[in-house]
Amino acid sequence: MLTPAFAATASGRHGAPRPLGQAMLRGLRCRCPSCGEGRLFGRYLKPVASCSACGEDFTAQSADDFPPYIVILLLGHIIVPMGISIDTHFRPPLWMYAVFGTMLIVALVLLMLQPVKGGVIAYQWAHRMHGFADAAPPPA
Ligand SMILES: [Zn+2]
């Protein structure tokens, strides 16, 4: 059974259209998914309360732990094959994995987390999830 907010989201019956692809691209650029102008983050992973350009309210976002899961999934598919390939071709000593592998992983995580979180927030916004749902359906 769908909740009224999700049912409205799934069918897109009320409210202005929110194109998912456009919103996701804006979110991945850490911009407001609604207008693409205002910044989505005030600090590294702290979303702003509202867009400085259009006033869209972001207090309803609930990305929680999903962005780190996505980053772990993506990096696992990048780092593990790369490590296997490097080990197969060059056989570097283990200390090089410990030092350079850790530095590479930390750098990639720090680079990926903010855009991925922006994408998750944009996805929630485009689908009117959580508090991004319209306040009330239009009159029938
Ligand atoms: Zn905006």
Tens-digit pLDDT profile for residues 82-132: 999 999 999 999 999 999 999 999 999 999 999 999 999 999 999 999 888
pLDDT at residue 34 above 90?
yes
* Per-residue confidence (pLDDT) for residue 136, from 0 to 100: 53
Q: How many CB atoms within 10 Å of residue 19? A: 11
Which is higher by pLDDT, 133 or 125? 125
Alpha-carbon distance 126 to 135, whole Å? 15
Q: Is the pTM of this model over 0.85?
A: no
Which stretch of DSSP H or E encloses residue 81?
helix 66-90
pLDDT at 139 over 70: no
The number of domains in the chain is: 1
DSSP code string of 68-79: HHHHHHHHHHHH
Interior CA angle at 47 toward 42 and 53, to 5°? 70
pLDDT at 46 over 50: yes
Q: Considering the domain boundaries, does residue 138 fall inside one? A: no
Determine the distance separating the centroid of ligand 1 and the alpha carbon of 22, expressed in angstroms: 13
Q: How far is the CA of 39 from the centre of ligand 1 (A)?
A: 8
Residue 73 covered by a domain? yes
Amino acid residing at 49 = A
| Residue 100 CA to ligand 1 centre (angstroms) | 39
> How close is the Cα of 57 to the center of ligand 1, in Å?
9
Strand partners, 34: none
Whether residue 9 has pLDDT greater than 60? no
Give the integer Cα–Cα distance in Å for 94 and 54.
52
Answer whether 22's CB lies under 8 Å from 30's CB: no
Q: Is residue 67 part of a domain?
A: yes
The parent domain of residue 83 ranges over 19-132
Instruction: Report the distance separating Cα 30 and Cα 57, nearest Å.
Output: 15
In a 3-state reduction of DSSP, which class is residue 50? strand
